[in-house]
């Protein structure tokens, strides 16, 4: 029986081709492969399932066995956040035209290139940065690439990172920075944050003659908005150090634009801008700078520039392609390849829908909801919120005084269909039995009531 995915699996098509090629058996076409290279053992795969209904039932069975963040009330964030994804976003990114291109030409995949340019343009407005590359795999990857850009720009070999950073992201950064013994490793120096405020200041960084970059995030991984970014960026500049700033783009209707704070290279996650969680498959990382040649020439990404056709129409093409690995192999900047370009279309639709007013209102709603939730949670006996005045959408809830572990509390909450905040007790032992709670525009008063009620029962 022919397979529905393969038109030429129909016997007649195959026969036509075999006659034209002049073979009686397809095996004759594999004459390049020596006999003793062919697989000796079975690959163990079952026979194919030609019925879509049967395949769907099987895969759906696995998917629907999961407990998701819609059927449950989730307070998980920590670098991947559940925000509203407008219906128009899903409608556009599932269009076959956006789903299937591979490369194309500037004329035939024009619409995709325009969407990419719109993505970079609108993100540039949020960031107050003029040069924006196409995204890389994730926020951590973007930070890693940006730190490597800084090392090449400065010829130095150290990056300073506040210890409040996400351990998940730090592992990625360490990988990108390399190992001693290899060529040009970058040493990662962690510096303490102020336990009273959750933030860092200039003095904490200990900028030195070999400091290529300061890598700072605001809000930081523990949710706190850094208050000394501008001072740090100024001190870094005076030291010949690049300031690489990680931001949550959804905060930027409310919080100051990184370009206005003096950041040199801005990175962050594209996921909040209209991409679902996908168990971590929704991540993407952007890199942006001022439009200065010294930065532009260090990008490892592909970039889309506005240009013209030979007839004078507006068009879009890749700028600085030659410095990518496609153009220069090992002499290019890091490497490029498939990334998360479909998500840039989602991001473009999202930013178009939100507009300036949408981002401003969204920022205010998230801040207000998160502060409201923190206040309610802090009313519980033995429960405190660290840094209650400094955060945007995530906050550290300390359960130490309840005598219960976060793991235990979260297990209890699951029975109430609540996913408690991310357990910080292993990664940040100084914070005791703490959890990072994320509250967004999606949470309602009823949701916070439900959390408080569940916590009361679990802690009772």
Partner 1 sequence: MSELRNYHAAVWDEPLVMELSAPGRRGNVPPAPIAELDPATALPGAVLRQAAPALPEVAEPDVLRHFLHLSQETMGMVGISLFGTCTMKYNPRVGEQLSGRDGMAELHPDQDDSTLQGLLEAVHRFDLMLRGLSGMDRFVFQPGGGAHAAYTHTAVTRAYFADRGELEQRREIITTAQAHPCNPATASAAGFDVITLPVEEDGYASLDALKAVLSDRTAALMINNPDDMGIYNPHIKEWVDAVHEVGGLCFYDHANFNGVMGRLRARELGFDACMFMLHKTFGVAKGGGGPAVGAYGCSEELATYLPGPLVEATEDGYVRRENPRGVGRVREYLGNLNQVVKAFGWLTAMGADGIREAADISVLANNYMEVRLLELKGVTKAFPQMTKRRLEMTRFSLEEYTAETGITAVDVQNRMGDYGIDAFWLSHEPWIVPEPFTPEAGETWSLEDIDYWIDVLAHVLEEGRSDPELVRTAPHQQVVGQLDGSSLDDPEKWATTWRAHRRKSGRG
State which of positions 267-296 bind partner 1 (CB under 8 A).
276-284, 291, 293, 296
Backbone angles phi, psi at 58, to 5 degrees: -65, -50
The residue (of 14 and 189) whose beta carbon lies closer to partner 1 is 14
CB 161 within 8 A of CB 217: no
Near partner 1 by CB under 8 A: residue from 146, 205, 207, 252: 252
Nearest to 251 by CA among 352, 122, 391, 115: 391
| Site track for partner 1 across 108-127, x = CB under 8 A | xxxxx-xxxxx-xxxxxxx-
Choose one: 107-115, 189-197, 201-209, 240-248; the region binding partner 1 (CB under 8 A): 107-115
CB 353 within 8 A of CB 364: no
Q: How many residues are given for the chain? A: 460
The residue (of 20 and 460) whose beta carbon lies closer to partner 1 is 20
Binding of partner 1 at residue 190 (CB under 8 A)? no
Near partner 1 by CB under 8 A: residue from 158, 217, 242, 334: 334
Binding of partner 1 at residue 353 (CB under 8 A)? yes
Binding of partner 1 at residue 36 (CB under 8 A)? yes
List the beta bridge partners of residue 269.
285
CB 272 within 8 A of CB 285: no
Backbone angles phi, psi at 399, to 5 degrees: -100, 5
Binding of partner 1 at residue 381 (CB under 8 A)? no
The residue (of 61 and 209) whose beta carbon lies closer to partner 1 is 61
Binding of partner 1 at residue 340 (CB under 8 A)? yes
Q: Give SS3 for 439.
A: coil
Near partner 1 by CB under 8 A: residue from 152, 154, 157, 178: 178
Binding of partner 1 at residue 192 (CB under 8 A)? no
Cα torsion 77, 81, 84, 87: sign: negative
The crossing angle, in degrees rounded to 10, of helices 445-459 and 406-415 is: 120
Query: CA 162 → CA 173, 188, 219, 223, 407, distances in Å?
Result: 13, 10, 12, 13, 26
The residue (of 148 and 206) whose beta carbon lies closer to partner 1 is 148
Binding of partner 1 at residue 202 (CB under 8 A)? no
Contact positions with partner 1 (CB under 8 A) in 69-88? 69-72, 74, 76, 78-80, 82, 84, 86, 88
Query: CA 453 → CA 263, 351, 438, 440, 449, distances in Å?
Result: 43, 36, 17, 19, 6
Question: Rounded distance, CA 433 to CA 189, Å?
Answer: 26
Binding of partner 1 at residue 460 (CB under 8 A)? no
Binding of partner 1 at residue 428 (CB under 8 A)? no
Near partner 1 by CB under 8 A: residue from 179, 196, 238, 460: 179
Near partner 1 by CB under 8 A: residue from 215, 223, 236, 308: 308
Contact positions with partner 1 (CB under 8 A) in 219-238? 225-227, 229-230
């Amino acid at each position: 029986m022919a397979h529905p995915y393969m038109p030429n699996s129909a016997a007649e098509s195959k026969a036509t081709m075999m006659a034209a090629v002049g073979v009686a058996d397809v095996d004759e076409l594999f004459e390049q492969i020596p006999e003793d290279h062919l697989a000796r053992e079975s690959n163990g795969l079952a026979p194919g399932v030609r019925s879509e209904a049967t395949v769907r039932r099987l895969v759906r069975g696995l998917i629907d066995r999961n407990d998701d963040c819609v059927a449950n009330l989730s307070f998980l964030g920590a670098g991947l956040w559940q925000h509203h994804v407008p219906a128009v976003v899903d409608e556009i990114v599932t269009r076959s035209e956006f789903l299937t291109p591979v490369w194309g030409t500037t004329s035939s995949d024009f619409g995709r290139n325009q969407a990419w340019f719109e993505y970079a343009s609108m993100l540039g407005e949020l960031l107050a940065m003029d040069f924006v590359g196409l995204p890389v795999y994730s926020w951590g990857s973007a930070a890693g690439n940006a730190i490597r850009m800084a090392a090449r720009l400065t010829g130095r070999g150290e990056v300073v990172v506040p210890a409040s950073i996400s351990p998940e992201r730090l592992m990625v950064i360490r990988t990108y920075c390399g190992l001693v013994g290899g060529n040009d490793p970058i040493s990662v120096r962690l510096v303490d944050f102020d336990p009273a405020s959750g933030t860092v200041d200039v003095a904490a960084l200990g900028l030195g003659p070999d400091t290529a970059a300061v890598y700072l995030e605001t809000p930081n991984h523990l949710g706190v908005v850094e208050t000394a970014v501008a001072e740090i960026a100024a001190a870094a500049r005076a030291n010949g150090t690049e300031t690489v700033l990680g931001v949550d783009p959804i905060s930027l209707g409310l919080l100051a634009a990184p370009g206005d704070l003096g950041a040199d290279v801005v990175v962050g996650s594209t996921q909040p801008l209209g991409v679902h969680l996908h168990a971590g498959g929704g991540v993407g990382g952007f890199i942006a700078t001022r439009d200065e040649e010294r930065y532009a020439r260090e990008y490892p990404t592909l970039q889309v520039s506005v240009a013209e056709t030979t007839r004078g129409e507006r068009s879009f093409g890749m700028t600085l392609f030659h410095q990518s690995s496609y153009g220069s192999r090992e002499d290019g900047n890091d490497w490029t390849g498939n990334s998360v370009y479909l998500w840039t279309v989602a991001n473009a639709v999202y930013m178009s829908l939100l507009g300036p007013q949408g981002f401003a209102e969204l920022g205010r709603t998230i801040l207000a909801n998160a502060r409201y939730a923190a206040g309610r949670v802090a009313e519980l006996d033995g429960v405190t919120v660290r840094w209650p005045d400094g955060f945007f959408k995530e906050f550290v809830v300390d359960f130490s005084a309840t005598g219960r572990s976060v793991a235990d509390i979260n297990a209890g909450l699951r029975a109430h269909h609540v996913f408690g905040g991310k357990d910080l007790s292993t990664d940040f032992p100084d914070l005791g039995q703490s959890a990072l709670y994320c509250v967004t525009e999606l949470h309602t008063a009823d949701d916070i009531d439900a959390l408080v009620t569940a916590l009361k029962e679990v802690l009772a």
